[in-house]
Every structure is written in structure tokens, then in C-alpha cells.
């Protein structure tokens, strides 16, 4: 072993999944830039109150095809980092489940904004697969309801207007304060409370590496800033870390 093995926390945002065909939200070509009205479709108040908003939201999900997306080299690099034996925790703002699909150990992934791979009934809280709900949409149900009680179905994601799960946030906060190396990948670091995580890490003495195509508010505090495409930059960074610490 070349050096003390650091505890590594990796915060991932939409940028890590763009090479899998999933658009980001706030970038120059992001979803909110191209269609500002789309944000209303994932805002909890309108979604629950307006059947037309729900119908449009289901159409958007069906057309996006996110469930068919495959992990890319960035996701696989983080799996390689875990399998190297270095202690790693992934804190993700994404809801696409691609870290787990790539092979990341599920218990080592904290999904800060929930998962789009499942739906939940607002009334009875029954949980089911998103794929099944989308099959019903394809079969002609524009706003599929809960088969158990007839209640409104929603994705198991944190919508605009909702708070993050306090238990998940508490776990992420603990990881950020305990790590010795914090890597922020493909995230604007502008959305709180997730953006507080690198601040926690730096404040408690961790090194910070930012891998992002656009400037972030934390670039000046970072020990290293990498601007190259994530699918190329992350495997190279993982290779350097493994060579240094193993």
C-alpha cells in the first residue's frame, strides 16, 4: 500500500448521466432551458392538483425513455473505484438508478432525490415499478391510478416543492463530514441542501475535486478542477487514485 487509504465520498449530478442519453436540467442545453414549462410537471402542487399536468408528466416520462438508459464509462469508473478496495460512498442527486445498474453496491449509494424507477400511491403509499405504470400509459391510460385504492400515482422522487428525506440527508451529511476526499461529478453545486455536502467536507479537512463542464461555486475551494468530459475524465481520475493509494 502506497499511502493511507482515504474514505472517499462522490457526489454525482445530472452531468454524469448525459452520455447515457439523459439530459441535464440547468446546463446551457438543459431541460429547463429548452422547456421551462417542463419544471411544472415535476412540481408537487400542480402535479397532485391538476390531472392535465399529470397526463403531460406521464407523456414526458414515456417519451424520455430514461428506464432504457444504460450506464456509461463514468458510472462504471465509480464501480471500479469501489471494487479496488478503497472505501467509497456515492451520494447522487440523480434519480435514474444507473449507479446500481452499473454494479455499484446498492447500500453504498444514497439517492438524495429518490428514484424514478418506482412509483408510489399518494393515498395508500403502495409502491410499484415505474416500468409497469409506463406500460399502462402505452396501453392507453393517460393518468394511471393506484390499482390497490384508486389514488394518484407519483414517481418516488423528490419533486420541486418537497423536502429531501431527512434520514437520507442525515446519512449523506455524516458521510460528507467523515470523508477525507470528496469528489463532485457533473453537478452545478447550486441546489441545496445537496450543495452543502462539499462545504461540510472541506470544512472538516477533506480534499475536494470538482469534475464538471461548467464553473461551480466551489471551484476556488477545490484542490483540483477537471473540465474534461466526464466519461473520459472519471476513469482517468479513478486510475490515478487507485495507483496512488493501492
CATH number at residue 239: 3.40.50.1220
Together in a domain, 77 and 143: no
* CA 86/CA 6 separation, integer angstroms: 7
Domain that holds residue 99: 1-22+71-113+163-246
Q: Is the pLDDT of residue 63 over 90?
A: no
Q: What is the CATH number of the domain that holds 49?
A: 3.30.1600.10
Together in a domain, 122 and 204: no
Rounded to two decimals, the pTM is 0.92
Together in a domain, 104 and 172: yes
Together in a domain, 59 and 167: no
- The catalytic residues are 113
Q: How confident is the model at residue 1 (pLDDT cuts 50, 70, 90)?
A: very low
Together in a domain, 53 and 42: yes
Together in a domain, 189 and 138: no
Together in a domain, 211 and 129: no
Number of domains the chain is built from: 2
Together in a domain, 50 and 139: yes
Average pLDDT in the chain = 93
Amino acid at each position: 500500500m502506497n499511502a493511507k487509504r482515504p474514505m472517499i465520498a462522490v457526489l454525482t449530478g445530472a452531468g454524469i448521466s448525459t452520455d447515457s442519453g439523459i439530459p441535464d436540467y440547468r446546463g446551457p442545453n438543459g431541460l429547463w432551458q429548452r422547456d421551462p414549462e417542463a419544471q411544472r410537471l415535476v412540481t408537487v402542487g400542480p402535479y397532485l392538483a391538476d390531472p392535465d399536468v399529470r397526463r403531460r408528466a406521464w407523456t414526458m416520462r414515456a417519451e424520455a425513455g430514461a428506464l432504457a438508459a444504460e450506464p456509461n464509462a463514468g458510472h462504471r469508473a465509480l464501480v471500479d473505484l469501489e471494487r479496488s478496495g478503497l472505501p467509497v460512498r456515492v451520494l447522487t442527486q440523480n434519480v435514474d438508478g444507473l449507479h446500481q445498474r452499473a454494479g455499484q453496491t446498492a447500500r453504498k449509494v444514497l439517492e438524495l432525490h429518490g428514484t424514478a424507477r418506482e412509483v408510489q400511491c399518494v393515498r395508500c403509499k403502495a409502491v410499484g415499478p415505474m416500468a409497469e405504470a409506463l406500460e399502462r400509459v402505452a396501453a392507453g391510460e393517460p393518468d394511471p391510478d393506484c390499482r390497490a385504492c384508486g389514488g394518484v400515482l407519483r414517481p418516488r422522487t423528490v419533486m420541486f416543492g418537497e423536502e429531501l428525506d431527512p434520514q437520507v440527508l442525515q446519512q449523506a451529511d455524516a458521510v460528507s463530514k467523515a470523508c477525507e476526499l470528496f469528489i463532485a461529478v457533473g453537478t452545478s453545486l447550486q441546489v441545496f441542501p445537496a450543495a452543502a455536502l462539499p462545504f461540510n467536507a472541506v470544512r472538516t479537512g477533506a480534499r475536494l475535486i470538482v469534475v464538471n463542464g461548467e464553473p461551480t461555486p466551489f471551484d476556488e475551494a477545490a484542490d483540483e478542477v477537471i473540465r474534461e468530459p466526464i466519461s473520459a475524465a472519471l476513469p482517468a481520475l479513478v486510475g490515478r487514485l487507485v495507483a496512488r493509494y493501492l
